[in-house]
């Protein structure tokens, strides 16, 4: 076999090096995925609005002025005012941070507990696995919103308890997904090699099992963000979430119900805001699924 | 088949016991003395004592637990603190409303979802497919409670063709709640049907069926859809849980007198025995539906029975 000249060898190696970092490969696919682009664009809009909104509009989201209640849209109040004369647009802009915080905090806790639990369960098997499987079965037997409602009913309402309730509902799905991957990863030659070299189990879990089972988890995390935001707003809508006067979108939507006949706009905009956020995470989730596993496309 | 049914029933038992245990623990998660919390701020010491005895909170915890489970086995869910009626009676008075709402919505979701999914899969990557797939993501991202309000604004406030709330106008009062509740599930069922159909449509037996000259719809329904059913049935089964949960929201929006509204009202009035009863009963229904889904698998796909 002829030895290739240096120039001939260089090109494919460079290409390989670029392609071999999973992150850039996934990003490259994501960038060309139509629904992912739409999702990312919506999210970028939300983040910009969250950061810049308070700088552009000087009104406070909780500033009340009864003389200004139910004002129609105008230059000083682009979306009008609510029942207590608070600026609707400013409240929506401030609301984005609560919605994003609720979603990210709940999913982060869900990941932090669910992924290690699933990895341990799948990797070690036996009694630990049996126990964690039964526990997830039980949590999954409750329809999500029912469990969240029951939890805030006893723990009490407010930001922290809503996050706890949402996190508990999102743990089981991450346990299931990570466990399923861990079951196949533990049979892989590289895990066997690590074991043979005497690498401690904890290191194998964190260096091999968890990183290699992340793909489906990442996709689910994005979808779960949408689900958590939807659920958080549902609790707020029922008056059992983040409490007024905090401008949380679900809570705003809930209090707009009283004025639905006189001022339907108050119900329209918070709902649109929730819808956009959930849609964005669902679209990004779809894009990630295709980018991480092109076979399913 | 019978062995399979028995085995699935036995596996459900620990889950049922676990669910009941979680529901029992709910009351004990209350910060402070449950009797004081339930009685509310205006209660006298006598009220608190009455509630404490009524809930059996004076006994040691293991006795409370065994008592709770024992009564549960006899179908006794306790007594409502607000009305004094049995929790089971309260729930059974409302259950038919929730059942009618959930089944109507499920029917809408299956009919539209499966049809749309099949159509999208046969017109892959065309405008129709894009429209259906896009619509499905929209539907699955739409907050139920918001959709309900928007439908009220359009059909009850502006067009005045449908009632905004209540259940006293017969089937016509079911229209808006059922559509609201169905949308989310319709989207998910359409998506799942599309992807399951796409997987099957590319396979050899479909091509063979077409080649031998079978009619287009016959190939689609008898060959393709029949083989794509498994993942679709899974999603439909899971949607039932979503529908039971979504009923809580839909019922509150439309003043529909079902179990979900009973739950929200009872949380508001701290009537915890009723809260426990509703959560337990809805979860048990969900477990039962999942069981039926599993048994349907075994019916659809004989391989599962023998594995």
Structure-block tokens of residue A151 = 């939890």
CA distance A48 to A173: 31
Which among B230, B235, B144 is positioned nearest to B189, based on CA atoms?
Answer: B235
Report whether pLDDT(A19) > 60. no
CA distance A178 to A199: 21
The answer to whether the CB atoms of B149 and A253 lie below 8 A apart is yes
Residue given tokens 């559509």 in the structure block: B179
Cβ atoms A69, A85 nearer than 8 A:
yes
pLDDT in tens, A199-247: 999 999 999 999 988 888 998 999 999 999 999 999 999 988 888 778 8
How far from B16 is each of A9, B73, B90, B91, CA to CA, in Å? 63, 11, 22, 19
The answer to whether the CB atoms of A143 and B19 lie below 8 A apart is no
Question: With 0-12 CB in 10 A as exposed, 13-18 as middle and 19+ as buried, what is B115?
Answer: middle
Which among A166, A229, A140 is positioned nearest to B242, based on CA atoms?
Answer: A140
Structure-block tokens of residue B239 = 């949607």
pLDDT in tens, A92-111: 888 888 888 999 999 999 99
The answer to whether the CB atoms of A253 and B248 lie below 8 A apart is no
**Which of A137, A146, A250 lies nearest to residue B282, judging by beta carbons?**
A146
CA distance A119 to A117: 5
The answer to whether the CB atoms of B141 and A279 lie below 8 A apart is yes
Instruction: Give the HSE-up count for residue A189: Cα atoms under 13 Å, Cβ half-sphere.
Output: 0
CA distance B181 to B241: 12
Chain A interface disruption, residue of B146, B239, B287, most A CBs within 10 A = B146
pLDDT in tens, B22-38: 999 988 888 777 788 77
The answer to whether the CB atoms of A141 and B145 lie below 8 A apart is no
How far from B72 is each of A146, B180, B277, B280, CA to CA, in Å? 20, 34, 10, 10
**Which of A238, A264, A274 lies nearest to residue B153, judging by beta carbons?**
A264
Which among A32, A33, A43, A26 is positioned nearest to A280, based on CA atoms?
Answer: A43
pLDDT at A284: 92
Average pLDDT over every residue of A133-139: 91
Average pLDDT over every residue of A13-40: 71
Structure-block tokens of residue B128 = 């129709």
Return the SS3 of A58. Answer: coil
CA distance B80 to B275: 9
Cβ atoms B19, A141 nearer than 8 A:
yes
Question: Distance, in angstroms, between B267 CA and closest chain A CA?
Answer: 6
The answer to whether the CB atoms of A238 and B286 lie below 8 A apart is no
Range of lowest pLDDT (A72-86, A260-274, B67-81, B118-132): A72-86
* CB < 8 Å to A254, chain B: 145
Question: Distance, in angstroms, between A218 CA and closest chain B CA?
Answer: 19
pLDDT at B110: 95
pLDDT at A294: 55
pLDDT at A295: 54
pLDDT at B187: 92
Structure-block tokens of residue B177 = 């709640």
Average pLDDT over every residue of A278-292: 89
Question: Distance, in angstroms, between B213 CA and closest chain A CA?
Answer: 29
Candidates 3.30.420.40, 1.10.3720.10, 1.10.1660.10, 3.30.70.1230; correct CATH number of B96-257?
Answer: 1.10.3720.10
The H-assigned helical ranges of chain B are 2-28, 34-39, 45-54, 61-73, 87-122, 127-141, 144-151, 175-201, 204-211, 216-218, 226-254, 259-268, 272-300, 302-306
Structure-block tokens of residue B129 = 């497919």
Length of chain A: 297
Return the SS3 of A81. Answer: strand
Chain B interface disruption, residue of A95, A145, A228, most B CBs within 10 A = A145
Cβ atoms A165, A236 nearer than 8 A:
no
pLDDT at A5: 44
pLDDT in tens, B112-148: 999 999 999 988 888 899 999 899 999 889 998 899 9
**Which of A156, A234, A268 lies nearest to residue B249, judging by beta carbons?**
A234
The answer to whether the CB atoms of A146 and B30 lie below 8 A apart is no
**Which of B18, B152, B275 lies nearest to residue A150, judging by beta carbons?**
B275
Q: Does B165 touch chain A (CB under 8 A)?
A: no
pLDDT at A4: 46
What DSSP line would sit under A84-121, residue for residue? TS-BHHHHHHHHHHHHHHHHHHHHHHHHHHHHHHHHHH
Average model confidence (pLDDT) across chain A: 84
Which among B288, B293, B291, B182 is positioned nearest to B232, based on CA atoms?
Answer: B293
Q: Does B205 touch chain A (CB under 8 A)?
A: no
Backbone dihedral region of B255: left (phi > 0), alpha (psi from -120 to 50 degrees) or beta?
Answer: left
Cβ atoms A84, A64 nearer than 8 A:
yes
The pTM score is: 0.85
The answer to whether the CB atoms of B157 and A35 lie below 8 A apart is no
pLDDT at A18: 43
Average pLDDT over every residue of A194-202: 92
**Which of A149, A226, A237 lies nearest to residue B145, judging by beta carbons?**
A237
Domain boundaries defined on chain B: 2-73, 96-257
Report whether pLDDT(A13) > 60. no
pLDDT at A51: 84
Which among B117, B144, B11 is positioned nearest to A145, based on CA atoms?
Answer: B144
Chain A interface disruption, residue of B31, B106, B143, most A CBs within 10 A = B143
* CB < 8 Å to A151, chain B: 29
pLDDT at B306: 63
Residues 6+ apart with CB under 8 A from A59: A86, A87, A90
Q: Does B287 touch chain A (CB under 8 A)?
A: yes
* CB < 8 Å to B249, chain A: 145, 234, 237-238
Which parts of chain B sit beneath pLDDT 50?
Answer: none
């Amino acid at each position: 076999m002829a030895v290739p000249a240096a120039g001939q060898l260089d090109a494919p190696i460079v290409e390989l090096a670029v392609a071999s970092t999973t992150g850039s490969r996934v990003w490259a696919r994501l960038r060309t995925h139509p629904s992912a682009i739409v999702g990312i664009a919506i999210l970028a809009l939300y983040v910009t609005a969250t950061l810049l909104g308070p700088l552009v509009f000087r009104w406070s989201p909780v500033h009340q002025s009864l003389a200004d209640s139910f004002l129609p849209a105008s230059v000083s109040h682009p979306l009008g005012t609510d029942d207590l004369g608070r600026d609707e647009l400013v409240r929506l802009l401030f609301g984005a941070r609560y919605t994003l915080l609720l979603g990210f905090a709940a999913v982060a806790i869900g990941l932090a507990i669910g992924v290690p639990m699933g990895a341990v369960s799948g990797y070690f098997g036996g009694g630990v696995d049996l126990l964690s499987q039964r526990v997830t079965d039980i949590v999954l037997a409750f329809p999500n919103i029912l469990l969240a409602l029951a939890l805030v009913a006893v723990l009490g309402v407010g930001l922290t308890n809503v996050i706890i309730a949402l996190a508990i509902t999102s743990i089981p799905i991450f346990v299931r997904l990570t466990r399923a991957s861990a079951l196949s990863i533990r049979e892989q030659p590289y895990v066997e090699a690590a074991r043979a070299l005497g690498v401690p189990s904890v290191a194998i879990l964190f260096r091999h099992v968890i990183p290699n089972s992340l793909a489906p988890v990442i996709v689910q995390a994005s979808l779960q963000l949408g689900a958590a935001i939807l659920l958080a707003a549902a609790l707020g809508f029922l008056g059992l979430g983040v409490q007024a006067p905090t401008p949380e979108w679900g809570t705003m939507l809930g209090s707009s119900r009283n004025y639905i006949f006189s001022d339907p706009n108050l119900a329209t905009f918070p709902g649109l805001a929730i819808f956009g956020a959930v849609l964005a995470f669902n679209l990004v989730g779809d894009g990630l699924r295709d980018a991480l596993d092109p076979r399913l496309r | 088949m019978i062995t399979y049914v028995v085995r699935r029933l036995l596996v459900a038992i620990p889950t049922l016991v676990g669910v009941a245990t979680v529901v029992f623990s709910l009351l004990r998660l209350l910060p402070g003395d449950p009797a004081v919390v339930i009685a509310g701020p205006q209660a006298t010491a006598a009220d608190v004592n009455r509630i404490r005895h009524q809930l059996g909170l004076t006994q040691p915890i293991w006795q409370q637990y065994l008592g709770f489970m024992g009564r549960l086995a006899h179908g006794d869910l306790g007594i409502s603190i607000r009305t004094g009626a049995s929790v089971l009676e309260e729930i059974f008075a409302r259950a038919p409303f929730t059942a009618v709402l959930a089944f109507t919505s499920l029917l809408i979701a299956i009919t539209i979802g499966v049809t749309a999914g099949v159509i999208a899969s046969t017109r892959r990557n065309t405008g129709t497919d894009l429209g259906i797939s896009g619509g499905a993501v929209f539907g699955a991202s739409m907050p139920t409670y918001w959709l309900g309000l928007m439908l009220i604004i359009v059909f009850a406030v502006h067009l005045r063709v449908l009632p905004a709330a209540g259940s006293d106008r017969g089937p016509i009062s079911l229209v808006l709640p059922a559509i609201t509740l169905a949308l989310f599930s319709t989207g998910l069922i359409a998506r799942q049907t599309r992807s399951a159909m796409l997987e099957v449509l590319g396979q050899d037996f479909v091509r063979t069926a077409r080649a031998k000259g079978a009619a287009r719809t016959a190939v689609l329904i008898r060959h393709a859809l029949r083989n794509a059913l498994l993942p679709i049935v899974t999603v439909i089964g899971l949607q039932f849980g979503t529908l039971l949960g979504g009923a809580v929201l839909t019922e509150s929006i439309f003043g529909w007198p079902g179990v979900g509204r009973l739950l929200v009202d009872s949380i508001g009035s701290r009537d915890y025995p009723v809260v426990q009863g509703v959560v337990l009963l809805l979860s048990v229904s969900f477990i039962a539906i999942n069981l039926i889904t599993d048994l349907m698998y075994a019916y659809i796909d004989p391989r599962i029975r023998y594995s």
